[in-house]
Amino acid sequence: MTPGSVDAVIVAAGSSTRMAGVDKLTATLRGRPLLAWSLDAIASAPCVSRIVLVAAPARVERLAAEPWVRERGALVVEGGVRRQESVAAGVRATASAVVLVHDGARPLVTAGLVEAVAAEADRTGAAIPVVPVTETLKLVSAGLVGATVDRTGLAAAQTPQGARRDLLEQAWRTFPPSGAREFTDEAALLEASGVPVVAVPGDPANLKVTLLEDLARAGALLAAREAGWAGGAELSIRVGHGADEHPFGPERGLALGGIVLEHAPRLRGHSDGDAVLHAVADALLGAAALGDLGRLFPAGDPHTRGIASGEMLHVVAARLADAGWRAAAVDVTIRAGRPRLGGRRLDAMREAIAALLALPPDAVQVKASSGNLIGYEGAGRGIAATAMATVVRR
């Protein structure tokens, strides 16, 4: 792609409704606002000439005065009530034949991905980055699973999304930005207008900060990238998923998340039954493509009966190190009708997991749900845990 041949619109006019009162765009990541990271990431792509930042009306003047906005020469314009109105306002302020549209809440996009989308949009007319859906999908209604959705051919869309200006303008003549029909992204608008949109391989690390826990994940990934760049070496990032569940047994002393709750019933298992640490271990192994916990610690091995799950996690961390990987971030969700897991206990688990993996506490998130009285966890007969883990390799 010719250097300086495209303009980019960064959409930052949202209201952060799912962030528990936190303004995600101004939230601090590694000492800088999240939006500053997104702006710098887009500006790092050689193909980008001009950047238009679309903000809520009340923010335009303040953002335009920010040093990190002025240094990039970004133009700040007023957005609309809906995303499509904000995108249209941003595109009107650009001049290039091909325009990129990026979410302000995606601070981890790489210059390589920006270049790839721009080149494909220039060649074919429209392109978006996508990543395959790897989780099993369920159709849920009123808290009950109704059906399993076939994920064949499904992919999750990312940004930046690129298109020729004339195709966007043509689509807006049919579907005005202020019209009744709403589009969640530019690809949906173009699809409705009969414009083919090419899928470009996306980046699993190009996450969108939508929920509060996403901030910790984004911060950990940025820290890992900074460490890799400072060392002058190429950095690879992978994400893995792990899950585990155990029923309660007759004994006391619940091992969970690296701590022990003495008066709660213990979980049944070949080891100490710590479902949280088992889920974390499987997520780490999965991210590094190193198998699963059952292969390292077979349930039939008498030598490991009753082993502390913290020891198992140490072995997993050592396996990762031997393969050239290390943990960068962990996000855990516990489902349990009992015992009650308040903030103090969850914080203790967070500290314990961070210590076991030699991570800063802000790279670990531990959450809990009562299970809404659904399933055996919700009924208080056991505990289930799921974990997402990010690993990095230089």
C-alpha to C-alpha distance for 338 and 345, rounded to whole angstroms = 13
Q: Model confidence over 357-376: pLDDT tens digits? A: 999 888 899 998 875 555 65
Residue 17 pLDDT more than 60? Answer: no
| Mean of all residue pLDDT scores within the chain | 88
The identity of residue 62, as a single letter, is R
Q: Are 362 and 215 in contact (CB under 8 A)?
A: no
Q: How far is CA 150 from CA 92, 136, 144, 153, 200, in A?
A: 40, 8, 18, 9, 22
Kindly state whether residues 218 and 310 are assigned to the same domain.
yes
Q: Give the count of domains, the chain.
A: 2
* pLDDT, tens digit, 9 for 90 and up, residues 238-271: 889 999 999 998 889 999 999 999 989 999 888 8
User: Are 290 and 320 found together in one domain?
Assistant: yes
What CATH number has the domain bearing residue 152?
3.90.550.10
Residue 113, pLDDT score = 94
Most confidently predicted of 19-23, 122-126, 333-337: 122-126
Judgement on whether residues 237 and 161 belong to the same structural domain of the protein:
no
How many angstroms separate the CA atoms of 313 and 326, rounded? 12
Asked if residue 176 belongs to a domain, the reply is: yes
Q: How wide is the angle at C-alpha 43 spanned by C-alphas 221 and 72, nearest 5°?
A: 115
Of the residues 173, 201, 229, the one at which a domain ends: 201
Domain end: 145, 172, 201, which one? Answer: 201
- Predicted local distance difference test score (pLDDT) of residue 231: 44
Residues 272 and 310: their CA atoms lie apart, in Å, by 9
Enter the pTM of the model. Answer: 0.62
Q: Are residues 221 and 123 part of one domain?
A: no
Domain co-membership, 167 together with 274:
no
What are the Cα distances from residue 276, in Å, to 12, 53, 221, 307? 36, 41, 22, 15
Task: Spell out the alpha helix ranges (H) of 136-248.
Answer: 165-174, 186-192, 212-230
Residue 84 belongs to what domain range?
6-201
**Distinct helix (H) and strand (E) counts, the chain:** 13, 17
Q: Tell me, yes or no, whether 367 lies in a domain.
A: yes
Same domain for 173 and 217, yes or no, is no
Are both 220 and 302 inside the same structural domain? Answer: yes
> What local confidence, expressed as pLDDT, does residue 305 receive?
80
Please, which pLDDT band fits residue 226 given cuts at 50, 70 and 90? low
